[in-house]
Amino acid sequence: MKQHLNTLFVTTPRAFLRKSGQAIADKKASRIAADGRIVVLQDGNRAVIVEVNSETDFVAKDENFVAFVQAVAAAALASGTTDVEAFAQEKLADGRSVEAARTELVAKIGENISVRRIASVIADGVISSYTHGARIGAVVAVDGGDEVLGRDIAMHVAASNPMCIDESGVPAKTLESERRILTEQARDSGKPEEIVEKMIAGRINKFLKQVTLLGQPFVKDSDISVGKLLSDAGATVTAFVRFEVGEGIEKKEENFAKDVMQQIKDARMNGKNS
């Protein structure tokens, strides 16, 4: 009986802390986390890029959060898992699951934290990456080029945010929508139909250059396109991934004065009811 009581005494606090951390994480899960960090890790011909979100820039710079993001990236590289839901059960180097480490960090820091997305790039040629202030990251696979060219292309991708490598990668719906808008604009000009058709073709061509990696002016030398740069080097880009912290997340407009007044009001009401 004595041994049973000792075991109960040792394990119960730990179980309580786990449940408490999970409860706090569940409570904060609905809060918008649109800040955070991007990390890229590479091992030979394989690289991963991950985005982990926090609610504020202050937490994004916290050493505990930074360490967690690095650990997540290392686990992603080791496991090869890019499905975020499945990845939650992967193990970090310290033996904890990603989800257990996340909930503990939420309880410690007091903000919602989420592993938002993971992407992996594998190549036979050169893999290069570039990160800008931990808020934008890009990974590029280049065949036929060297590391200098690869890093230049990665820097360009980070800065110019191309939609895809070339025209074949532009989604049909995107192209159709753009063509409809440009057609309406051209016809509103009142010019003859044959002129209108030429205007539409020219504007579509301009649009494709703007959104495709090969069509964009090279960020370090706008006199040449990325396509020309690659062609001159006898190289091709086979894949790229670009992440930017919080992109696509609808951010809540904060009214801190209103929030403070609401907190004061709630405190007064609680005082009256106590």
Domain assignments of the chain as residue spans, ordered by start: 1-122
31 in helix, strand or coil? coil
- The pLDDT score that the predictor gives to residue 27 is 62
Average pLDDT over residues 23-31: 63
Looking at beta carbons, which pairs linking 79-86 to residues 24 or more positions away fall under 8 Å? Answer: 80/120, 81/118, 82/48, 82/118, 82/119, 82/120, 84/115, 84/116, 84/117, 84/118
User: Of the segments 187-191, 240-244, 261-265, which one has the largest average pLDDT value?
Assistant: 240-244
Average pLDDT over residues 156-170: 97
Average pLDDT of the chain to the nearest whole number: 87
- The pLDDT score that the predictor gives to residue 4 is 40
- The pLDDT score that the predictor gives to residue 11 is 42
Distance from C-alpha of 120 to C-alpha of 256, rounded to nearest angstrom: 39
The set of residues, in sequence order, having a beta carbon less than 8 Å from that of 36 and lying 6+ positions away, is 51, 52, 53, 54, 60, 69, 116, 245, 246
- The pLDDT score that the predictor gives to residue 193 is 80
Q: What is the pLDDT of residues 94-143, one digit of tens each?
A: 999 999 999 999 999 999 999 999 999 999 999 999 999 999 999 999 99
Q: What is the CA radius of gyration of the chain?
A: 25
Distance from C-alpha of 158 to C-alpha of 128, rounded to nearest angstrom: 12
Phi and psi at 236, nearest 5°, equal -135, 150
Q: What is the CATH number of domain 1-122?
A: 3.30.479.20
- The pLDDT score that the predictor gives to residue 274 is 53
- The pLDDT score that the predictor gives to residue 194 is 83
Q: 134: which DSSP letter?
A: T
- The pLDDT score that the predictor gives to residue 192 is 81
Share of the chain above pLDDT 70, in %: 81
pTM: 0.80
- The pLDDT score that the predictor gives to residue 5 is 35
The set of residues, in sequence order, having a beta carbon less than 8 Å from that of 149 and lying 6+ positions away, is 126, 142, 229, 230, 233, 235
